[in-house]
Chain A
């Protein structure tokens, strides 16, 4: 399917243990989908597998970006094809400033010898930082080095804003955030919503979905999507708890 991120019958194992058991999901460009699930349901595995983490083994199914499989591609090739993952636990890169890191990432998307112009780059960077209410001094700090939880998550969204992916997977972007930080991050994500971006929000709690309102909600239990529905499903989940759907997984 053109203009969609598709997961078809995906089976994934880590060290011989199967975690995803034939998962199906389609996120069209322009839509926001949410996956809700308890800890250990395989949500983060799904995010990492899509991005090409080397620890996981795909034993069946496929992941397609605009109709083309991305399985077997290096993580950086997938990224340059338009897939972005906002990490639950972003890595620290000591000594590398955010400004240099983002510039290197943008240049990696351009042909050699056509590196981004410095003035143009900083204009764009400052614009996106204003949007996310990030102080200018942020750019000269080393990536995630000594950042608070909120700063790390804002940095993830800043990178998403700069790299302009076709599909973004936000892995537990709400974890570790207080309500103010959550609002800022959500505002940032919402401002990036549009017909050219498909977003998959992965979360444990319904709270985030009050701020980033999804078009479709999927419930994940034990490595499978057991229920999908409109945004109201998130509220229903909050009220009834995961026990309510767990029976569905067994069927």
Chain B
């Protein structure tokens, strides 16, 4: 969204950029600016971490310091992140509330403005609402909890359920996977820990909402979801932050585990403000005949680098990434998918749709790996890019490594443009320029969005409309 738009239409400011508000800071716990061993100790002391977590964090800090930024292939813009300028832990208290009435007023108002309690009542099985470093609210419907489903924050997960937590934590995404997974491992706070017992099919989605309120701050939630044999779960996450002049960092690690025959769907709708660096590592481990599906929608942020992946570990496991990225003026969406086939008859599907507007830039980076000894593996990759006006650029780097016979890979890519003639045509029918662009974009993603759960496709359409309205003029 351009500055000019905000100034010209001040009355529309909230509608166009609904996450763009913040409340004055009032934190009981603040680790201060910069990242040292003392920062880690402060976080551990505040959270009352067990010793093994303190050691885990300190080891991760060392790895983080040793690892270089991935600048040989990634955006140079990463170099403008000054790690010493951030605050790594801000909270009003480590323990989340079970009812909205107990949540501090300004935090409660924040989530009310974002419609979270309303959605919880309407269609969710449980909600966790994170405000900066910690969840302010966390609740699961009784009927779901009674089935043995665990839905808590990472802090409660590692303390109260160590037997499940420790088994998988850091196993899908090792600390040293990349610089940002190491950073997260050092300072992680918040995020969800979910366990769905064997055979339990959670009917309604569990949702987490990640809200950044503070300036010069980094949010590092850590999510671990384990869906046991034959169980099913849909998890949704939403994110927003106010627009500050300074840089905000969001660097999550999300690990998913689907046991034999389990189904896990992870849905992200992020609507970050344009000062956020969003550098997230997300990966799932799919056992025999299980299915992991990432639905990943990236709107906003200054730079997003995110490549959800699935390791297809068991026979007939299935992985899917359906992603939509919208890069508006000044933004770079560097997104994609990774499919690591590690067993026979595993299948993967990647559909990526990107939209670049103005000086916005969208990059697709894919990795599909099928080793020689495997049989009957299949991958389908489709990447479609839509360009709106001539400054936009898009790049596709689909690395597909297939060895051996009896495996099949299919790759399609397309680039199309919203032309001036197309916009003129639609305007001639009475639609404003913004409405016309919005309709074109919705048309472009339509077929994909139809595969999303309904509540989610409505939300996405609304965000696209707001984003397109704001991109005109």
Contact = CB atoms under 8 A, between A and B. Distances in A.
Contacts of A51: 424, 428
B81 interface: no
Interface string B319-330: 000000000000
A109 B446 CA distance: 24
Contacts of B416: 94
B419 A80 contact: no
Contact of A105 (B431, B444, B446): B431
B6 interface: no
A78 to B, nearest CB: 8
Nearest to A80: B430
Contacts of A100: 439
A16 interface: no
A54 B422 CA distance: 12
Contacts of A109: 430
B46 interface: no
A85 B445 CA distance: 28
Contacts of B452: none
A57 to B, nearest CB: 15
A74 B429 contact: no
Interface string A40-69: 000000000001111000000000000000
Contact of A74 (B420, B427, B440): B427
A95 B442 contact: yes
Interface string B425-465: 11111111101100110111111000000000000000000
B245 interface: no
B432 A108 contact: yes
A108 B425 contact: no
Nearest to A96: B443
Interface string A87-106: 10011111110001100110
Q: By CB atoms of chain B within 10 A, which of A85, A91, A92, A101 has the most?
A: A91
B439 A87 contact: no
Contacts of A75: 424, 427-428
B429 A90 contact: no
B466 to A, nearest CB: 14
B428 A95 contact: no
A95 B444 contact: yes
Given A93-B439, A95-B447, A159 B429 contact: yes
A94 B439 contact: no
Contacts of A95: 442-447
A93 B439 CA distance: 9
A108 B443 CA distance: 18
Main secondary structure of the interface of B (DSSP, over half): helix
B79 interface: no
A142 interface: yes
B421 interface: yes
Contacts of A142: 443
A109 B435 CA distance: 12
Given A104-B435, A142-B443, A91 B430 contact: no
Contact of A76 (B432, B439, B440, B447): B432
A163 interface: yes
Contacts of B442: 95-96
Contacts of B422: 91-93
A79 interface: yes
A66 to B, nearest CB: 17
Nearest to A82: B430
Interface in B387-442: 416, 419-422, 424-433, 435-436, 439-440, 442
Contacts of A85: 428
Contacts of A52: 424, 427-428
A52 B425 CA distance: 11
Nearest to B440: A93
A90 to B, nearest CB: 7
A51 B420 CA distance: 14
Given A74-B432, A74-B433, A109-B430, A96 B440 contact: yes
B430 A76 contact: yes
Given A54-B420, A91-B422, A96 B439 contact: yes
Contacts of B440: 93, 96
A153 B195 CA distance: 58
B425 A76 contact: no
A94 B444 contact: yes
A53 B424 contact: yes
A42 to B, nearest CB: 19
A87 B426 CA distance: 11
12 contacts: A52-B427, A75-B427, A76-B427, A76-B431, A76-B432, A78-B428, A79-B429, A79-B430, A93-B425, A96-B442, A101-B429, A108-B431
Given A51-B428, A108-B432, 8 more contacts: A53-B424, A76-B429, A91-B419, A92-B422, A95-B446, A104-B435, A109-B430, A159-B429
Interface of B: 416, 419-422, 424-433, 435-436, 439-440, 442-447
Shortest 8 CB-CB contacts between residues of A and residues of B: A95-B443, A96-B443, A91-B425, A75-B427, A105-B429, A79-B430, A76-B427, A95-B446
